[in-house]
Structure 1
Amino acid sequence: MSSEVKSQFKVAAVQAAPEFLNLEKGVEKAIRLIEEAAGNGASLIAFPEVWLPGYPWWIWLDSPAAGMKFVRRHFENSLTIGSELFNKITAAAAENHIHVVLGFSERAGGSLYISQAIIDDNGKVVATRRKLKPTHAERTVYGEGDGSHLGVYDTALGKLGALCCAEHIQPLSKFAMYSQHEQIHVAAWPSFSVYRGAAFQFSAQANNAASQVYALEGQCYVLAPCATVSKDMLDMLIDSESKAPLLLEGGGFAMIYGPDGAPLCEPLGETQEGLLYAEVDLGAVGVAKAAYDPVGHYSRPDVFQLRINRTPGAIVRDFQQEVPRESACEAPAVDSQRSSAEGSEK
């Protein structure tokens, strides 16, 4: 990655249906979109939440038992970091000289995670991160991330970070990101077509507002890619009349916002597939922060502070074996503290 940061460039947000539960075809489609974005001069392309291999909408339509028929297929078509198919995405980023933020279902051992990969224009994986807390019914499918996944990373396009879906209504998670002086943010969404008219919390209006407020609060550019639900997906998922009103075709409401919260592009129709583009000028971030900077001149650290545990989660830790002592009284307090600290560092 070049040490020189671009100050002006074009970005692209994806609005498209996944190749549902077909990872190989999904990777092929992702590469086509990467090539299209690069061909139109974009330096960054952002994909929706778990776009590979597609969001598990069955969890909102029926019981966990009824959804078991999708479990194996979803697991086997989830993407493993460092796999041949994953490396095809990184190679496409390098070949097309474009940064990619990819939303995917990550397969790690026997578990799945809602993940995002930040890949630079040389095909280097800058970071991978997992959704800190899957939302509601998602917890029947996915595991959790940890504090190390609330990161903002230095790239040739400035400070870049990403969150998924309802992470954008978590005030402390957002503040953790803002505190790292994020300039470009990817707010990935799965589609706004579930429970239409019955749950305003899940609506495009409510959740696009969350993306827009993130831009306003953090004074950063926000790309909000959003998948669509295709007719083929509905044919697979809707197997009774009672389910038909619960998930509708379309739901694509992708958008890009500036650091003052202003929309920067025209939306596509909710069933339409394509890429949304906008021009970024990092100088506008400083202008926005002249009015608001909740982690700078507009903060009150003497009143409010956020504590974050950034230690990566681990189910097994190896601790240094403590030197046996003849009696407890021979263990000075300072030695005990040092031993504890060394064990924690392990």
Structure 2
Amino acid sequence: MTKTIRVAAVQAEPVWLDIEGTTAKTINLIEEAAAGGAELIAFPETWIPGYPVFLWSYPVYQQAEFVARYHANSVTLDGASMDRIREAARDNAITVVIGFSEKDAGSLYMAQAVIGPEGQILQHRRKLKPTHAERTLFGESDGSGLKVIDTPLGRLGALNCFEHVQPLTKYAMYSQNEQIHVAGWPCLGILGKLPALSPESIMAATQTYALEGSTFVIAATQIMSDEGARVFPGPDGGPCPVYTGGGGFARIYGPDSGIITEAMDPTQEGLVYADLDLSLIDLAKNVLDPAGHYARTDVTRLVFDDRPKQAVLRPHQVNEEIFSPLPEAQVEDEPVSSV
């Protein structure tokens, strides 16, 4: 008999700029998912303390108040907020994939953590390249975060937001035989006037990932209420300028790219569930496996450097970090013309 894995995707509003409030809400959602039979719950990008919509709403010189609050309410990997979430994962015997703003000394990163059902951190990664205005607040990562890990549920990976439109980033993930993928997104539609950032385009990118990777994709999104938008008030005290209401598009795609969940209203909070049959991946890859039998390694290949990088090296690290060469691609000698 085929084993199925029950998973849940979050569609909810964070307690904006409030690490304590959002952590408490996180634990409630973990408990709800476990009660619903889920073995894995996926949270959106920068769920704690909410996606920084102020980056898209105001000039940089008007953001200082929000930036200070955002730093103060961001998560440290060894801090109390993460400890409480790990305890909730352990108490409910559930795998948690959570997006958060990570504070590391004076820098912030758009991070994700995979927490196992015993409360252990199985993977910690940071967004490789923050998108557009995000780069004024968040730092970049390196290739060590592009990793698919073995878990009792299957081979699990995660990316944030527009990492899902980076072809080479996606290919690096596909090449690791990913079976379950978490796609963390913010509240969608806040910049609806830009077609590339519309909910339709974003969901198309998410569905494409399922098709190309022949993997189950769990898309988790935030929503924003009118009350939440007023945390970032406009000049007249109304909602922040980019607010459009709602923004929730949580759903789960199968490895053939078909949607396998019922969509909730974009303004509704809750969880969407699906039962995953991993044997369907073999059927999908039999047709299309771009990093396997459908690859053309004689024509195109990806050079993937997954070594962690550090800003400061100690003497014993220098040779290994700087002088260790990447594996060289085989290059055919060019013909030499005779004279």
TM-score (norm 2): 0.92
3-state SS in 2 of match to 1:42: coil
Instruction: Say if 2:182 and 2:217, in contact at 8 Å, map to a contact too.
Output: yes
- Which amino acid is the alignment partner of residue 217 of structure 1? E
* 2:298 paired residue among 296, 302, 320: 302
| Residues 195 and 245, structure 1, Cα contact 8 Å, conserved in 2 | no
**Do residues 186 (structure 1) and 182 (structure 2) align?**
yes
- Once structures 1 and 2 are overlaid, which stretch shifts more, 235-244 or 148-157? 235-244
Unaligned runs of 5+ in 1: 1-5, 322-338
Q: Residue 198 of structure 2: which of 191, 203, 225 is its match?
A: 203
Question: Structure 2 vs 1, CA of residues 229 and 10 (structure 1 numbering), >3 Å: closer, same or farther?
Answer: same
Q: CA deviation at 1:254?
A: 1.1
Q: For residues 211-231 of structure 1, what are the alpha-carbon distances to aligned partners after superposition, in whole Å with 9 as ceiling and x for unaligned?
A: 100000000000000000122
Shift of 1:309: 1.4
Question: Quick one: which of 68, 72, 77 aligns to 2:73?
Answer: 77
Moved more, 10-19 or 247-256: 247-256
Superposed CA RMSD in Å reads 1.7
Instruction: Tell me the SS of whatever aligns to 2:15.
Output: coil
Q: After superposition, where does 1:209-224 map in structure 2 within 5 Å? A: 209-224=204-219
2:57 & 2:316 partners in 1: Cα distance?
49
1:134 matches 2:130: yes
| Aligned position for 1:331 | none
2:320 & 2:122 partners in 1: Cα distance?
A: 29
CA–CA distance in structure 2, aligned partners of residues 159 and 314 of structure 1: 27
The residue that corresponds to 1:311 in the other structure is 307
Q: CA deviation at 1:72?
A: 1.2
SS at match of 1:28: helix
In the superposition, relative to structure 1, how do residues 118 and 342 fare at CA in structure 2: closer, same or farther (>3 Å)? closer
1:216 partner amino acid: L
SS at match of 1:114: strand
1:317 alignment partner AA: L
Q: Is the 8 A contact 2:226 2:239 kept in 1?
A: no
Specify whether residues 157 and 32 from structure 1 end up closer, same or farther in structure 2 by C-alpha distance, changes over 3 A only: same
Residue equivalent to 1:233: 228
Q: Is the 8 A contact 2:230 2:240 kept in 1?
A: no
| Partner residue, 2:104 | 108
CA distance in structure 1 between the aligned counterparts of 2:298 and 2:96, rounded to whole angstroms: 39
Shift of 1:246: 2.2
Q: 2:18 maps to which residue?
A: 22
Identify which range, 128-137 or 187-196, moves more after superposition: 187-196
Instruction: Name the CA shift for 1:294/1:35 in 2 (closer, same or farther; >3 Å).
Output: same
Task: Please list the CA deviations of residues 132-162 of structure 1 after superposition, one character each: whole Å capped at 9, or x if unmatched.
Answer: 0000000011000100010000001110000
CA distance in 2, matches of 1:343, 1:245: 46
In structure 2, C-alpha distance between the alignment counterparts of 1:291 and 1:135, rounded to whole Å: 33
C-alpha displacement of 1:122: 1.0
**1:176 corresponds to:** 172
**Distance apart, 1:244 and its partner CA:** 5.5
Letter in 2 for 1:37: A
> How many residue pairs get matched?
322
Residue 82 of structure 1: CA displacement?
1.5
Aligned to 2:37: 41
How many percent of aligned residue pairs carry the same amino acid?
Answer: 47
CA distance, structure 2, for counterparts of residue 69 and residue 295 of structure 1: 46
Q: Does residue 94 in structure 1 map to residue 90 in structure 2?
A: yes
Q: Deviations over 1:21-49 (max 9, x none)?
A: 11011111000000000000000000000
Deviation at 1:83, TM superposition (A): 1.1
CA–CA distance in structure 1, aligned partners of residues 194 and 239 of structure 2: 15
Match of 1:123, SS state, is coil
Please give the TM-score of this superposition, normalised by the length of structure 1.
Answer: 0.90
For the pair 1:51 / 2:47, whether they are aligned, the reply is yes
Deviation string 1:145-187 (CA, Å, 9 cap, x unpaired) is 1000100000011100000000000000000000000000001
Alignment of 1:320-339 (within 5 A): 320=316
Give runs of ≥4 in structure 1 deviating > 3 Å.
241-245, 339-345
Secondary structure of the structure 2 residue equivalent to 1:212: helix
1:60 counterpart residue number: 56
User: Which has the greater radius of gyration?
Assistant: 1
What is the CA–CA distance in structure 2 between the aligned matches of 1:276 and 1:209, rounded to whole Å?
19
Distance in 2, matches of 1:147 and 1:104, equals: 19
- Alpha-carbon contact 2:234-2:241 (below 8 Å) kept: no
1:60-96 Cα deviation digits (max 9, x unpaired)? 0110111111111100100000212101111111110
> Could you tell me which amino acid in structure 1 is paired with residue 15 of structure 2?
E
